Structures are given as structure tokens and as C-alpha cells.
Chain A
């Protein structure tokens, strides 16, 4: 009906130029009709980019460890310590098809003291594998991995090292620090670590020591938790159930943090907000579309003589339909473009006030004008058809 006629392509350029100049002459009224389209596009673009950034931010919480990760902790159920079986943990990777690696952990707290300075720090006892699993990089020194017998050596977190450093004496590899009353030698200092959801301790304010030497400083000494890396895409829910069953003891109550479930919960909460904003956007677009239809109908009524004259000079009903349809589409695309810019600005404000990094999903910027243009096409159709069906004689006589 609209496209498949010869010669139309050749005329399209002229029609486009005319449609544009007609719109400009409509001025303020066009602008008013655009308001709804602009608000609709802006809220949809803001919402999509807000969601995009929230997604990036939530993924950041799992950047080090990834999302195929479980953190399991144990709490005592009675008087006896909530110790887990090291042998059972070591067996997991071998026997459970979804487990790639299981790293036992024990933790405690102690006061660290050196050169007259004191800091309350966490103690994390773990096998050397933790450094690789959690991607812990050293700023200086080495991991105590190579230490065979239980020398009292540890790696300090970045903030802990700075808290213990004096103006003259920086704490670093080789420093002696009294931790929980034991004289430890610091063999390395960690680079600053961005905290994540599944971190067993705040690495920055901790000292890392080998697990097999934990008995000295952590009461009971054995593992009270573990980090489990699962096969990518594994069913984390099922895996965590199997693992907790394997590790169950009457003395401990196990709690599981499942990266994927946490992420899912966050996204579900977000989805509720998104749906609401999408509805607001859709309703505004609809209202805007009706506004555009109104403006176009008024324009058709006012320009009857022009329509009649065009018909007299040889414009077919199709030509006239295209002229008005193009005007509606141009109008809404312009509104969509402004709305997109507005939406991007709102997304920036959201990012700024939430402390997120600002990032736009490029496809959303194209989506704004495209969706608005679609509205123009839909709501412009009726006025365009009205214009093309005017009787030329009556149109020429109109005033």
C-alpha cells in the first residue's frame, strides 16, 4: 500500500525535505506533542541503562571469585566446636562431579602489635590454593606457601600493614609482628583487595596464615568453613545441598552463600522496578502517540487547501499519505532522540547518586528513536489516511 509503487523512491527525498519544513513551521504545537514521546522514551532509556549499570555493579561483587562459587560456613550447635572434616573437604573435588576445587578455611580474630601500634585484625588460615582461587595478588614479598614446617609466618592485608606501619618503620616483608601473643614474621603484603560478597574475611584487614599451622593461634584450629569452586554453569542449588549433606556433623550448623542465588535475588528485585518503569514509559509513549495523532489531525484539517492543491498537481493518495506519515515519524523520531538524551542524563544521575560507574548500553540509544518512530508510524497512519481520502474539490474550497 505504501511502498511498492514506482517513482516513489525518487520522490522520497523531496517529500522528506517538505515534511521537515512543515514540522518546523508547526513549532510550538509540535513541541507539545513531543512531550509525551520524550518522557516515554526518556524513562525507558533511563530504566534500561539503570538496569544495565546495576547489572554491571552486581557482577562486580563477584568479579574475583566468579558466580560459580559457594562459601560454606559452620556455626556450633552446642558446646562443642563446629569443626568440619578436612578429609571430607579434600575429597569433594575428587568425588563430586560439579566441584572443581574446595578450599578449607579457619578464621579468628586477634590483636596485632608492632612498634607500639595495635590493630584488631582477622586471621584467615587457608591452604596455598586460596591465593589462586581468590586471585589475591601480592604487593610485596611472597606467600608462605613454600613454608614446610610451621614457622610463624603470615601475609598481611594492605590496610592492616598500613595500620601497623609507623612514620619511620613501614611494616613489610621481614617485619616482626606480635599477633595474638605470638611473634610472627611477615613474609608478604597483599595488594589492596576490592571487597566481594563471598569473601570469608575482609582481606585488607587480615593476616593470612597456612591452615596447617592454625592450631597455635585459632582455638580448635580445624576448618570451620570452605570456598567451593563449581563447574561453570553447575546447578549451584543442587551442589550446595549435596555438599552440605557430605559435610554435615551434629556439632555444626552449615550456612551456604551461593553467588548465583544472591545475584538472582538482586536481579529479581531489580526486575520489579524495571517493570514499573517500563509501564510508565509505555503509558507515556501511548499518551504521546495520541498527542501526535491529534497534532497530525489538526495539521490535516488546517492544510486542506494544500492537500487539494497537491492532489490537483498530481499527488496520488499514496503520495499524500506518505507526506503526512513521514511528518509524524520525523516528529516522533526527533522526540525519541531528545528523550534518549534525557534518559541518558537521568541514567547518569542515577549512577552518580548510587556511586556506580556510568556506562550506557549503546543499543538503548538507537532503541529510543526507533521505538518513538514506531509510535509515529502507528499513530500517524490514521491522520495520513484521512488526508489521502479528502475530496480534492472540497479540500481546495476549505479555508
Chain B
């Protein structure tokens, strides 16, 4: 489903180029649930952004669903993100002026889905994450856990193949974090969506079927199957 081959990312420093990701080779199968772990600054977010087509590798190749996507234009990348990828962020990133269902409907809007169908799909997805009674609320009226559920609904409403979550529980207290984690696991099992989740929480990481550890831009134990 997802394959990276010798993917590197450099940032230009005053004197020399720093490799944030160094020849990362990795493959993730369809339906896998992976935790991406590593110390701060090891390149986890950078890797996730590359996979999410928000950024381009300095070198190397990336395949999603068999398509080589590293060289896509900004327009093509946007269309691919819209179709294949859902994002969940640590800080939720809900648009404050839109209601919960309108936030969830955003990916459908950029797909040209009619308004009524957008709303129906968004409300169904909100019901799936346990927020059937919050569809008309504004983000300011939701708790952190509820906000992250709305964000998860938004990431999944377009039935993507891949869910990328960068510290989705980083802003939540531990019991809410457990709930969100359980929700992600359930959705992974039910919908078959592939999940790659960055986390600093050892416990949460340990509960994932697969862990990918990064250090200084290199994959340590991509250890497929290691728990």
C-alpha cells in the first residue's frame, strides 16, 4: 500500500545541508496500524508530511497504492490527498467558523460533492465517532476529545486509504487519549484504513501492532510485526 525507497530530506543550513531524513526505506501494508516513534527532532513529522504529500523528498521514491507520487505537482498532490489521505493533527485544526458537520464535510467539498450529500455523509461519520448530537456545534463549543473526534471524522469522511496522525493524543488527557486511541483502532479494524500515527506515549505506541522507530532521520527497527 505504501512504499518508500531511499527517501531523504535535506534542509539547507548556513554552511551545509542537514539530512533530516536519511535514506529511509520502508513499506507498510494495506490495513496496518503503525506507531511512528522516536525522540524529538528525529524526523517523524517530516516523514509523515512526505507520506502525506504535503512536502516533497529531496531524493528517493514514494509509492502510494502503486502510484509513484513523489514528483507530483501541487495540484496533483492536492487531488491525491483529497482522494487517498486523511490527516489528524495534534491541535485539531478545526475551522472555528464552521459547525462540526461543515468541518467534517471539507474534503467532500473539495471533491465537488453536492451540499446535501456532503451533509448526510458528514453526519453519518460524526455519528460513527460518537458525536451524533454535536453536528451543529461550533468548535469552540466542543471539548478537546470531541474536537479530535470531529477531526478524525473529517479525516475519514472521504473514505481515504491512509490515515496520518501526528501526535493525535498530544493535547488530550490520558483517559481521553485512551478513548481516541480506541476509536482509531476500531476504525482501522472496521474500515480497513491504513493508519500511521506519530506518538510520544510509550504505552499507546506499545498498543499498536507495529512500531517504526526513527533516530536522527534513520529507521531503526521498522521491525514488521514487532510490538
Contacts and interface: CB of A to CB of B under 8 A. Distances in A.
Given A312-B81, A393-B54, A14 B97 contact: no
Interface in B174-215: none
Nearest to A315: B110
Contact of A313 (B74, B75, B110, B113): B110
Interface in B22-49: 49
A84 interface: no
B109 A396 contact: no
A392 B48 CA distance: 13
Interface size classification for chain B? 20 to 34
Contacts of A261: none
Given A25-B97, A314-B81, A393-B49, A319 B110 contact: yes
B163 to A, nearest CB: 12
Interface residues of A, number: 27
B75 A314 contact: no
A129 B185 CA distance: 104
A295 to B, nearest CB: 17
A22 interface: yes
A317 interface: yes
Interface string A304-319: 0110111111111111
Interface string B53-85: 011000000000000000000110011011100
Nearest to A25: B97
Contacts of B75: 316-318
A18 B115 CA distance: 13
Contact of B83 (A22, A305, A314, A396): A314
A9 to B, nearest CB: 8
Given A316-B79, A393-B55, A396-B89, A309 B95 contact: yes
A80 interface: no
Give the one of A21, A25, A312 with max B CB within 10 A. Answer: A312
16 contacts: A14-B115, A18-B98, A21-B97, A22-B97, A309-B95, A309-B106, A310-B106, A310-B110, A311-B54, A311-B81, A314-B82, A315-B78, A315-B110, A316-B78, A318-B75, A393-B54
Interface of B: 49, 52, 54-55, 74-75, 78-79, 81-83, 87, 89, 93, 95, 97-98, 106-107, 109-115, 154, 158
Given A11-B112, A396-B93, 19 more contacts: A8-B112, A10-B112, A10-B113, A10-B114, A11-B110, A13-B115, A21-B97, A22-B97, A25-B97, A309-B95, A313-B81, A313-B110, A314-B78, A314-B82, A314-B107, A316-B74, A316-B79, A319-B110, A396-B89
